[in-house]
Structure 1
Amino acid sequence: MAPTNTQSLKNFDYLVIGGGSGGVASARRAAKYGAKVLLIESNFNKLGGTCVNVGCVPKKVMWYASDMAHKKADLYPYKLDKKEEKVKYGDFEWSQFKIKRDNYVTRLNGIYANNLKKEKVDFIFGFAKFINSNGDVEVTLTGDQNLPFLEPSDKEYKKDEKLIFSGDKILIATGGTAIIPPKIEGSELGITSNGFFELDYQPKDVAIVGAGYIGVELSGVFNGLGSKVDFIIRGDTVLRAFDETIQNTITDYYIDKLGINIIKESGGVVKVTKEGDKKIVTLGNGEILKVDELIWTVGRKSLVDIGLDKVGVKVNDRSQIEANEYQVTSNPKIFSLGDVVGKVELTPVAIAAGRKLSNRLFGGEQYKDDHLDYNNIPSAIFSHPEAGSIGLSTKQAIEKYGKDNIKIYNSKFTAMYYAMMDDDKDKSPTVYRIVCAGPEEKVVGLHLVGDGSAEILQGFGVAVKMGATKKDFDNCVAIHPTSAEELVTMT
């Protein structure tokens, strides 16, 4: 196999395309077993993928800021302040906070790089694409860089230079990216969640489109920091992929207590124009909004434009790579995982799948059947308050087991933290639901809304994954006083 340029072709045991959480995890695990690994990431000096750079990590930092803004008003009822002061627009130094947040992300990028070096994983920044049926990969460099694993080791390779590599086994973990709807007039005047992290100022008025967890989280962040939020949804509730108790609780609280303007049955956005510095957003129901920023949270697309046709890797009708439970694609030497396959688009899922794949490929006979079980994966929504879910929703449980074969346990209360609050508007709800199936009352769904839900769910998720029953929950002695004790005392 002769290269098409002057750079000699170099073969690796494992070629990983994508330096996000899944790709990095799989590459490092493979290297621990002694495999020679090359990881290719297109985003120059930005290892970690969506999660680290424009996703979970900087989002949670912004959530913390917004959560503390809510708690600032709590100082007064707890007699830690002389008067009640709620955060208003202009109180938060957005631009200064962005610098600190970005520095933290840059630090994480460096940690990812150092961890790869420690595991002796070679990595390169460039756009990768397959160039022939053998699976050779051409990489167009996205920045000047030294590549010590190539000869001569002291050469500096320049941006846009093309290099060719091959691998005995290849992993595609290219992830996805947020989309702007192409068929709406003026849609390009809005930004995605990626653009949210590029904002160097706080918009006073913001419109957010899309009822999923990203829209819910960004709406909560902006509202907590004092911005006016118009939250545009097509249905009657947010978070429609989750249990109805989460949908209704968060929707009602956002409207009634937080004052977020959720525009239900909006008909969607039909046109966007610009008037001075303002975006004019026209909705299908005839309503017109005038805002500083418009943010689309209406979905993501997989990044599959890497020459898959050259190697016979199939994609489905949503342009996601088809891979079986062992992450094998239609080409037996090529594997895929993470957001690009679209099964469960969560960072820990990609990490777990990546590690298990490398166990199976390079870890020996003991791991010959290792693969990720995609059932009962916990997920959290960093709304205000937090929400979390594992297993089947009530609707899904009824569809699977029949209405007469499930039992629902519900609890709704106000956490003790809010006992000192004088105004009901300052009291955040806690709502828990346990969905059980069969005569043994196996817990097949657990749905939480309330402070600390993400941390609570991490522990209870272990129990659900192990097949716990309601009796197992009941047999655990409560920790008092906590909100989570309600999960083991519910009748």
Structure 2
Amino acid sequence: MNKMASLSSKKTGFLSSLSYQVRHLTMSRANCNIINSNNNSNKYYDLVVIGGGSGGLACSKEASQLGKKVAVLDYVSPSPQGTSWGLGGTCVNVGCIPKKLMHQASLIHSAVQDSYSYGWMDSNNASLNVTHDWNLLVDNVRNHILSLNWGHRVQLKEKKVDYYNCFGRFVDNHTIEATDKNGKKMSLSADNIVIAVGGRPAFPDQVPGAREFGISSDDIFFLKEPPGKTLVVGASYVALECAGFLNGLGYETSVMIRSQPLKAFDEHLSKLVLDHMEAEGVEFLRDSTPLRVDRIINESGKTELQVSYSTRTDNSNNNGSQEMHKVAVDTVLFATGRRAATTDLKLDILGIQTDVSTCQIPVDDNDATSLPNVFVIGDAALGRPELTPVAIMSGKLLAKRLYSNSSELMDYKMVPTTVFTPLEYGAIGFTERQAIDQFGEENVEVFHAFYKPLEYYLPFRNSNQCYIKVVCAATEGRERVVGLHMTGPNAGEVVQGFAVAIKRGITMRDIQSTVGIHPTVAEEVVKLHITKSSGEDPTVTAC
């Protein structure tokens, strides 16, 4: 079988699998414990959770396992471009899962480019020349998401949690009005109510055409046509991750940033991430702000999006001179922030206030609002890390505090995370600047190194942005590790392991006395010995 026939066979097999799963999904719904929202009778529960994302599902299943009668309401309002999805929230449908899969697709492209150095070639002894099928990738990703949607439904049934595909609004602090897609209403009453509605991308409505012609991270994973030349607007991790995998898949990509990228992360490593992306071909339009988006017909008769924008030429202050520019692209993706989906919950009835800019809800250490029986978890809670594992753990712990006499609170400090840009950035704990502000510069020491992964040598890949920084603080008479930041391949996998030890309060001496696994990227952490204060060159040599 030749390569094209093999590819065709795989594609046919995939489509057959997709068709089977969709049929199975449709036929099996009759067996799932899903409540018919046409039933207008009032229903009582111990706990009602508004939001079927990771945190809401975790909380509801935990409470049900503890013997309580639980219901989950979940309804997805379509994006401005009409995109909607199933049960599971942002992570499953338009966040972590599809993002990581597309990130992986772009890494495979990089591996193919390196393959000739490792002896892989075509029949003519030349480097492999491959093309990418956007629609096949989107279909495969969508197929996986559908399986996860269905899996969440099955789990709710197995855990005896009632699921309503309805939008929930407060009537009072014990009553929810549930409305289905056809406008049918019903009433749910509960002792406790958890708000776990997550967030949605925020479009810059001051920019004419942004909402009409632009897309967001809610849409990129569902595009029926390849995005083509793409402008990503924003400096968040969402913006950089999307730009990274689009560029890696072969689409001309530029990023428009107005201010400091990755503001919540270490400034030095954030710069390394951008440097690497720039070296890989991503264009950055710095100090720039979009003014309007128009749909135009170019000289060749092709429909394009024209973005008018201004660039600040005097970086010393925000009042410097401005230059006006225009750029024509096929797709404009806005990743300029997110807002909690709390606007239509009728929180004003309860007297619950929300943050003006983010629409998030203030909560106490117990995740409670100003009302003792109404709680908030996940991205809708003000000041919490907006991460899926945080929402899951906080949801489980809340259920245990409510129904199993637990007093354990969620620890929102020392939470590891990773930015899945082409060169991954894994982090936990204090940045260097945060540590100095918290402990004083005289009490902070940084161990660091530039390193080169072994797999970079044969293809002569640039490793100038592969870097590790361990932030230590002199507290309680010892040099405790309070932060770890790393850019490099599989940085997330590396940081996850060290996160356990750092959370337990390890010292730099503990790290340095640990034998490394050779040859790995992770061993570069335990080999760290050069401090910033020494002024020595932090570039390490290979074994």
Same fold (TM over 0.5): yes
Does the alignment pair 1:381 with 2:419?
Answer: yes
2:418/2:424 contact within 8 Å kept: yes
2: distance between equivalents of 1:382 and 1:86?
26
User: What is residue 218 of structure 2 aligned with on the other side?
Assistant: 194
User: What is residue 172 of structure 1 aligned with on the other side?
Assistant: 195
Deviating more after overlay: 390-399 vs 318-327: 318-327
1:126/1:141 contact within 8 Å kept: yes
SS at 1:410 equivalent: strand
User: What is residue 472 of structure 2 aligned with on the other side?
Assistant: 436
Measured after TM superposition, the shift of residue 45 of structure 1 is 7.3
Residues 378, 247 of structure 1: alpha-carbon distance in 2 compared, 3 angstrom cutoff: same
User: What is residue 277 of structure 2 aligned with on the other side?
Assistant: 254
Does the alignment pair 1:243 with 2:273?
Answer: no
2:167/2:180 contact within 8 Å kept: yes
Letter aligned with residue 469 of structure 2: R
Deviations along 1:52-73, one digit per CA (max 9) or x if unpaired, are 0111111111111111011111
Measured after TM superposition, the shift of residue 180 of structure 1 is 1.0
2: distance between equivalents of 1:477 and 1:362?
44
Letter aligned with residue 68 of structure 1: I
2: distance between equivalents of 1:119 and 1:204?
44
User: What is residue 13 of structure 1 aligned with on the other side?
Assistant: 46
User: What is residue 75 of structure 1 aligned with on the other side?
Assistant: 115
Task: Within 5 Å, give how 1:83-102 maps onto structure 2.
Answer: 83-85=126-128, 91-102=131-142
Measured after TM superposition, the shift of residue 385 of structure 1 is 1.1
Task: Within 5 Å, give how 1:476-487 maps onto structure 2.
Answer: 476-487=514-525
Which among 34, 44, 56 is matched to residue 67 of structure 2?
Answer: 34
Deviations along 1:273-328, one digit per CA (max 9) or x if unpaired, are 11132111111122211000000000011111211112232223332111111111
Letter aligned with residue 406 of structure 1: V
1:410/1:490 contact within 8 Å kept: yes
1: distance between equivalents of 2:70 and 2:363?
21
2: distance between equivalents of 1:460 and 1:467?
11
Letter aligned with residue 294 of structure 2: T
Letter aligned with residue 24 of structure 1: L
After superposition, the CA RMSD in angstroms is: 1.6
Does the alignment pair 1:291 with 2:325?
Answer: no
Which among 243, 266, 270 is matched to residue 291 of structure 2?
Answer: 270
Measured after TM superposition, the shift of residue 85 of structure 1 is 4.2
User: What is residue 148 of structure 1 aligned with on the other side?
Assistant: none
Task: Within 5 Å, give how 1:52-67 maps onto structure 2.
Answer: 52-67=92-107
SS at 2:219 equivalent: helix
Which among 364, 372, 375 is matched to residue 324 of structure 1?
Answer: 364
SS at 1:207 equivalent: strand
2:202/2:338 contact within 8 Å kept: yes
Measured after TM superposition, the shift of residue 93 of structure 1 is 0.8
Measured after TM superposition, the shift of residue 483 of structure 1 is 1.3
1:385/1:428 contact within 8 Å kept: no
Task: Within 5 Å, give how 1:279-358 maps onto structure 2.
Answer: 279-285=305-311, 286-304=324-342, 305-318=344-357, 319-342=359-382, 343-358=384-399
2: distance between equivalents of 1:312 and 1:12?
23
Measured after TM superposition, the shift of residue 203 of structure 1 is 2.3
Measured after TM superposition, the shift of residue 238 of structure 1 is 3.0
Deviations along 1:420-471, one digit per CA (max 9) or x if unpaired, are 114x45x574210000001521111100100010111110010111111101
Does the alignment pair 1:47 with 2:87?
Answer: yes
2: distance between equivalents of 1:454 and 1:134?
41
User: What is residue 449 of structure 1 aligned with on the other side?
Assistant: 487
Residues 415, 45 of structure 1: alpha-carbon distance in 2 compared, 3 angstrom cutoff: closer
2: distance between equivalents of 1:420 and 1:24?
46
User: What is residue 240 of structure 2 aligned with on the other side?
Assistant: 216
2: distance between equivalents of 1:461 and 1:421?
32
2:173/2:374 contact within 8 Å kept: no
Deviations along 1:118-173, one digit per CA (max 9) or x if unpaired, are 11111110111012x3531111112xxxxxxxxxxxxxxxx321111110111010
The count of corresponding residues between Structure 1 and Structure 2 is 459
Measured after TM superposition, the shift of residue 84 of structure 1 is 3.0
Residues 407, 86 of structure 1: alpha-carbon distance in 2 compared, 3 angstrom cutoff: farther
User: What is residue 151 of structure 1 aligned with on the other side?
Assistant: none
2:258/2:287 contact within 8 Å kept: yes
SS at 1:432 equivalent: strand
Which among 435, 441, 465 is matched to residue 503 of structure 2?
Answer: 465
Runs of 4+ in 1 over 6 A off after TM superposition: none
1:323/1:336 contact within 8 Å kept: yes
2: distance between equivalents of 1:482 and 1:65?
23
Q: Tell me, which stretches of 5 or more residues in structure 2 are unaligned?
A: 1-37, 77-83, 298-302, 312-323, 530-543
SS at 1:208 equivalent: strand
1: distance between equivalents of 2:514 and 2:251?
43
Measured after TM superposition, the shift of residue 98 of structure 1 is 1.0
1: distance between equivalents of 2:40 and 2:307?
52
1:27/1:37 contact within 8 Å kept: yes
1:245/1:431 contact within 8 Å kept: no
- Report the identity percentage: 35
1:418/1:428 contact within 8 Å kept: no
Measured after TM superposition, the shift of residue 402 of structure 1 is 1.1
SS at 2:117 equivalent: coil
Which among 134, 138, 149 is matched to residue 109 of structure 1?
Answer: 149
SS at 2:457 equivalent: helix
1: distance between equivalents of 2:85 and 2:437?
47
2:120/2:128 contact within 8 Å kept: no
2: distance between equivalents of 1:283 and 1:134?
46
Letter aligned with residue 347 of structure 1: T
Measured after TM superposition, the shift of residue 96 of structure 1 is 1.8
User: What is residue 527 of structure 2 aligned with on the other side?
Assistant: 489
Q: Tell me, which stretches of 5 or more residues in structure 1 are unaligned?
A: 143-158
Residues 428, 195 of structure 1: alpha-carbon distance in 2 compared, 3 angstrom cutoff: farther
